[in-house]
Amino acid sequence: MRLKITHVTTYSYDHPDAYALQQLRLIPRTGHGQHVLDWQTTITGATRQLGYDDEFGNHVELLLIEPDTTRVEIVSEGLVEIEDRAGVVGQQKNCAPLWLFEAATPFTAPGKALRQLAGKLKPKPDETGLERAHRLCAKVAKLMTFTPGHTASHTTAEEALKDGKGVCQDYAHIMIAVARMIGWPARYVSGYLYMEDVEDQDASHAWCEIWIEGLGWIGFDAANEICPDDRYVRVAIGRDYRDAAPIHGIRHGSGREDLHVALKVQAQTDQ
């Protein structure tokens, strides 16, 4: 499938900040069933300082907000062709070793609720690792109710699971936390999802990937209880949301900041 993506992020300030930097992880990666045909990022109210690939292979751009600016707009758009591989990413290599994805992070630290869930995932006779991972995905989907606005970007997996409500970020963190408790390397993926009946979206998507011995990295989207197919565009990976957030920054200033995100993911029928 070929998808056209337009991701517009706008920051508005009631008065200029003294200093502000933004890290962007908005450029999809080519490889493993995905090919970026065209991509560009247009920035108003800030200037690019440098670009680099981080330890996870994500392309990062660093922006400096211009003095006296009260509005910053970041338009990231392009065309990506995706092959349906039923979630199989495989033996992807980068500078980050597998053991880095085995350790808990502040977002995925074990708590009582997570330990109880992990206790229900004991291996069954003759069950493969892949079958067990699918069982984990189904458990998380059953225990959680998709509820926009109930959690925030700083909500932990334990907090979300206790409440039983959250969004794709929370579902991914819960799966990652339990997978690591079981002994599997697991990582967070940020990206885009094409939904046939929803052209205008207000946020990007997130899911997780688990390392299954003999198969490599396999994607699981517990929020939709499926493995990613050709509707999914992988953008960034990391240990949790903080490593793969589309935009992350620091600012020095006391003014109010308003954020607005407008996202379109459209299928191209004239392939």
Domain ranges, ordered by start, for the chain:
2-82+247-267, 88-244
pLDDT at 270 over 70: no
In the chain, which ranges are E strands? 2-13, 19-24, 34-44, 46-53, 59-65, 71-82, 88-90, 145-146, 165-166, 186-193, 200-201, 205-212, 216-220, 232-238, 247-252, 257-267
Q: Domain 2-82+247-267's class?
A: mainly beta
Residue 19 has pLDDT above 90, yes or no: no
Residues in CB range of 21: below 8 A, 6 or more apart: 49, 62, 63, 64, 65, 249, 250, 251
pLDDT at 114: 98
Give percent of the chain with pLDDT exceeding 90.
Answer: 81
> Given a cut of 90, is residue 54 above it in pLDDT?
yes
Task: Dump pLDDT digits (tens) for 124-178.
Answer: 999 999 999 999 999 999 999 999 999 999 999 999 999 999 999 999 999 999 9
**pTM for the model:** 0.95
- Cβ–Cβ under 8 Å, residues 236 and 27: no
Q: How many Cα atoms sit within 13 Å of 200 on the Cβ side? A: 2
pLDDT in tens, 205-259: 999 999 999 999 999 999 999 999 999 999 999 999 999 999 988 878 767 888 8
% of the chain residues with pLDDT over 70: 99
User: 88-244: what CATH class?
Assistant: alpha beta
pLDDT band per the 50, 70, 90 thresholds, residue 200: confident
Residue-level length of the chain: 271
